Structure 1
Amino acid sequence: MFLALITFGSNYEAKSNLVKALKALNQQVQILAVSPVYENPAICKTTATPYLNGACLVKTSLQALELHEQVLRPIEDSLGRIRGDEGKVKCSIDLDLVLYEKQVLSTPNLQLPAPDILQYAYVAVPLGFLVPDWIHPITKQTMAEIANRFSQQKATFYHQVEVNEAIGASLRDAPRTLLRFAIAAELSAHTLSTMKPIQPWHWRKLPLFKLNGAQVFEALFLNFRDVETLQGRSPQRIATLLESPVTHSTHLARYSICAGSPRLIEGQQRLWTPPLGDILCFLRCLLNSHQDEDASMKAQSIVPSELPFTGGWLGWLGYDLAWEIEQLPQHKVDPLPFPIAYWYEPESFAVADHQQQILWLAATDLAQLDLMQSQLEQAVKQRETQNLPQDVKTTPVTCIFQMSQEDYIAAVQQAKKYIQAGDIFQANLSLRFEAHTPFDSWSIYRALQQINPSPFASYWQTPWGAIISCSPERLVQLSGRQVETRPIAGTRSRGATPTADEQLAQELISNTKERAEHIMLVDLERNDIGRVCEWGSVKVDELLTIERYSHVMHLVSNVIGTLHPNYDAVDLIRGVFPGGTITGCPKVRCMEIIEELEPVKRNLFYGSCGYLDWRGNLDLNILIRTLLYTNMSDSTSEAIVWGQVGAGIVADSDPQKEWYESLQKAQAQLNALNLALDISAKYRQ
């Protein structure tokens, strides 16, 4: 079976003829979805009646020429279309095959992709609305990018007409809902089967009692049987914590979000792991399947509108999503067990407002709310300091790096050659390490939280293992239409005394190399969000500030903008992913070089995790300072942990210094694993 896109148009008894044409078409192919229908003036005759135009996505077993000659032309003939009537005032029906899989074809009767896609708004706009992520086989642009060329024209001579329901109602075997981004209806059909409206939440407002996010999560959702008993090997319960444990920045540390296991609908978990190739389309289907939620859900008067998450989905996007966004070479394998993408809708969750000291509980039934409140009250009564791993020197553990020092230095030198040749300005090269540990994942997370509190920390219990992250960096946030990205570039060790610390901070902020590298990456981020933001709205509201963490300090900036009305959260992800600070500049060429020089695929490392709110809000971190944790075989009580650290390489980088900077960034993670970072550690050759 093949996917194809067909455009349709009529300016003579248009509504009636379009319905007849689509009914006839649906008898010979499977219509998966229909775009909105637009009215636009006739091109050939200024006195002609305006046209109604749209597009539909179909699935067929026919080849392209067969579809064109055996289906579309006979339908046109049956509705009175006369060949060669393009210049006439009246046109009963026009059906054109414009895209067929990735096929490029040129015959006297059919050209694929159709040239009209690049020439006319009445073709490009419906396609951009229906299948924005479909890539033009020749120009390599997405349909959304092509449609956006006509945005100015669309504002003056396009307006959507209300015939969608009439057309949709005529398609007995097609979806009744006209999905905006329907390409995923075919590629992710298994996910759409459970996409039903979110059940309205029951909410409860409680005092926070000065609990941090980890304490709330531990009381409500943590499954201790999974994290305490490695010998049990039972599947881990699904639970998530998105925590802001830092205390020095109210703006970044106001909220923590924690959630339990996925909702069940008709016995199916609302949990998805879409494969590479349809991840963004899948997210669009999730988001757009809830655009018209019940008024009862939207009228949650008890819940303040500024609450960042009021229901939706939690999940991650691995770095390898980049292969869905860009045309990149694939040289390396991925040995890790975690899926590239993972999203789920929780059955219950809690949002802690640390500034107001309020805890918001949400659940799909009142009994669950009562249970959550009872668990929380018990936790407050029994609250005590968490026990962190002790006796750091008593458990010998081997740390294995995926590259030797010599291999890493050679990779840095090769990256510098690319810089000297003019391919790139800067690249981020990373180094993966692996270790075994007897400690459970939650204890490691709590240790990291104490050693290295960061504003975008997270902990995930999943069927594949645990994700333990103390990330200091936000990839992107969307709140309403306001976009924010917060790049970090430039690192120094912390000083032993306040005076030494301040001297190091001043040296970092005044260092010409660090400033140049940082500003270059800020400009990259400005360009990335500028792709989807309103013209003139992108600004740098914070430039070259110092943020301090346990072992290191960073140069940080903040870039803001206003999302263009034609775009949504998924367009924003496409525009900024992966973060420029963990690839380099220019981004695509750097990703090609990273694939060449690093020994394995990055998997989740340097991807993102966070939430997508049903209102369209989004907040994603960058998965740096992150550990991936999974149990080993049943015969051992140990678990295996992977981490990844890196450094930005520029023209005058010292390869030896970059190696030590990477090890320095691993220090806090290794401390939490009871590892003393030793440069003489065993290397994997």
Structure 2
Amino acid sequence: MAIRAFRRELSAPTTAEQVFHAVFSSDDCLVWVDVSGPSKPPHSVLGRGELHELSGPDALEDLRRLWVANALELEKERVPLGLMVVLPYDLSALTLQHPGEWRVPEDWDEPLRVVALHQSISVDWSSGVATAWMRGDDEEDFDHEEFDHYVRRVEKALASRATPTSDVPQPAGRARWRDTPPAYRGMIASAREAIRDGEAYQLCVTTQVTVDSDLSDWQLHSLLRRVSPAPHQALLRLGGVSMVSASPETFLHLDRDRTLTTRPIKGTRPRGESEEDDQRLMTELLQSEKEQAENLMIVDLMRNDFLQVCAVDSVRVAGLFEVETFSTVHQLVSTVTGVLDEGYDGIDALRACFPAGSMTGAPKSRAVRLLTEWESGPRGIYSGAWGWLHPDLSMELAMTIRTAIFADGVVRIGTGGGITWSSQVDEEIAEVGHKAKSLLEALGVSTIAYS
């Protein structure tokens, strides 16, 4: 029996914020993703679903089975259902081992979280047209009456509930860094020593900051989508954990035609105080031999990862050293593409490429081991990946950077940077602060220790 998606257009225009507050605000298992960019009409997807937590040596195989179970009959357009997945960085304990040697570290307590969406609402930003979606059996067996009843309830809720003011209160946040700047300098020194000794070419050293803030997860998301828009923007509630992401970096994108793409970011400069200063910093980034070398190392690493699952003659560098500008930083981005070889799927690509080289360094396996020794705590969700496993078996995953994690009554933010032999320590310290700035300021932190 073919499983397919059914749709109903709502009777009145609306916004994503109105849909959230009328339908989903109290849900503890929620997906709210904002999609924008040159190749996609701007829209939002909101939905509730069933939360799955996968762990142990079979976590990725369990994810494969869940993905296949949620596949749909192929549609001409992309359907906003399927799986929303959050992959913790600690999954590297599995992906970097040979299958026969897989084991789960004793201190690995961050599962792979998956929300299976069987219902959702998409909202077109320009027209306000909202569409309800539901997964179901074929036309004869689908309960159209139940779906129509659901749509009427949504329309009634939208008509009767006022949207809270969009003004976000100014919080008074207090930040506690896991590592002081002197401690971070020590990790940089360790990284440069390892590079000098030939153990690695590049190492991505990270830290985290914990913030006490009055902002809720939806308030932070509402603020960031206005002041810090990004290609990968979402509020995800995952039981007792919420994450608000404004990530600029594409980890893996798998098209229906089996084309695999990654867009690693390596190289950062802050935005300038004036247009002239901003242009100077952008040019400095583009012409920096150090930043180009750092970026090229990760491009080469990702090419090698792709060669594990892609046809050899299909892997190529489609773009090299391109500057992309965001609200607080300029970043140096490259693009690697390939076509999956016969017998491989999205999970195989994930296994070959995770964790992303831009968050580890090169060579990847040795870099991860060294970083585990130096960093003063586990990364958890930060520097892993999140995104869609679509029901047509295509995939869109972002890097979990520029992301706030709400859990245990506090907010945690990870940040860091790639270290090479030519790294200037003061510049690397400042980069940590630049990358965390927009999130920390939104959470009410007025003074950033790393600057």
TM-score (norm 2): 0.88
Q: Quick one: which of 358, 382, 386 aligns to 1:609?
A: 386
Q: Is the 8 A contact 2:57 2:104 kept in 1?
A: no
| Amino acid across the alignment from 2:204 | N
**Distance in 1 (alpha carbons) for counterparts of 2:174 and 2:266:** 30
2:210 — aligned with what?
434
1:363 — aligned with what?
134
**Distance in 1 (alpha carbons) for counterparts of 2:269 and 2:237:** 32
Any idea what SS the aligned residue of 2:188 has? helix
Aligned pairs for 1:441-460 within 5 A: 441-460=217-236
**Distance in 2 (alpha carbons) for counterparts of 1:368 and 1:515:** 53
| Amino acid across the alignment from 1:602 | R
2:441 — aligned with what?
671
2:404 — aligned with what?
627
1:417 — aligned with what?
193
Cα 1:611/1:680, change in 2 over 3 Å: closer
1:107 — aligned with what?
none
**Distance in 2 (alpha carbons) for counterparts of 1:207 and 1:669:** 37
Deviation for aligned residue 1:644: 0.6
Any idea what SS the aligned residue of 1:422 has? coil
Q: Is the 8 A contact 1:494 1:553 kept in 2?
A: yes
Q: Is the 8 A contact 1:491 1:554 kept in 2?
A: yes
Deviation for aligned residue 1:383: 8.1
The answer to whether 1:259 aligns with 2:47 is yes
Cα 1:382/1:217, change in 2 over 3 Å: closer
2:367 — aligned with what?
590
Any idea what SS the aligned residue of 2:220 has? helix
Aligned pairs for 1:93-132 within 5 A: none
| Amino acid across the alignment from 1:344 | V
**Distance in 1 (alpha carbons) for counterparts of 2:214 and 2:405:** 15
| Amino acid across the alignment from 1:348 | Q
1:389 — aligned with what?
168
| Amino acid across the alignment from 2:5 | W
**Distance in 2 (alpha carbons) for counterparts of 1:427 and 1:450:** 33
Cα 1:311/1:398, change in 2 over 3 Å: closer
Q: Which has the higher contact order (CA 8 A, sep 6+)?
A: 2
TM-score (norm 1): 0.59
1:494 — aligned with what?
271
Deviation for aligned residue 1:679: 2.4
Any stretches of 5+ residues in structure 1 without a counterpart?
Answer: 1-196, 227-235, 263-270, 292-296, 632-638
1:116 — aligned with what?
none
The answer to whether 1:513 aligns with 2:317 is no
Any stretches of 5+ residues in structure 2 without a counterpart?
Answer: 136-142
2:357 — aligned with what?
580
**Distance in 1 (alpha carbons) for counterparts of 2:359 and 2:205:** 8
Aligned pairs for 1:364-379 within 5 A: 364=135, 365-366=143-144, 367-372=146-151, 375=154, 379=158
The answer to whether 1:298 aligns with 2:298 is no
The answer to whether 1:599 aligns with 2:376 is yes
Please give the per-residue CA displacement for 1:323-349, whole angstroms capped at 9, x wherever unaligned.
011249999956xxx732011322311
Deviation for aligned residue 1:542: 2.3
Q: Quick one: which of 520, 530, 540 aligns to 2:317?
A: 540
The answer to whether 1:202 aligns with 2:6 is yes
RMSD over aligned Cα atoms: 3.0
Q: Is the 8 A contact 1:221 1:239 kept in 2?
A: no
**Distance in 2 (alpha carbons) for counterparts of 1:554 and 1:431:** 20
| Amino acid across the alignment from 2:233 | A
The answer to whether 1:526 aligns with 2:314 is no
Q: Is the 8 A contact 2:310 2:338 kept in 1?
A: yes
Q: What percent identity do the matched residue pairs reach?
A: 24
2:35 — aligned with what?
244
Deviation for aligned residue 1:616: 1.3
Q: Quick one: which of 236, 240, 250 aligns to 1:474?
A: 250
The answer to whether 1:215 aligns with 2:17 is yes
| Amino acid across the alignment from 2:217 | S
Q: Is the 8 A contact 2:89 2:383 kept in 1?
A: yes
Cα 1:545/1:221, change in 2 over 3 Å: farther
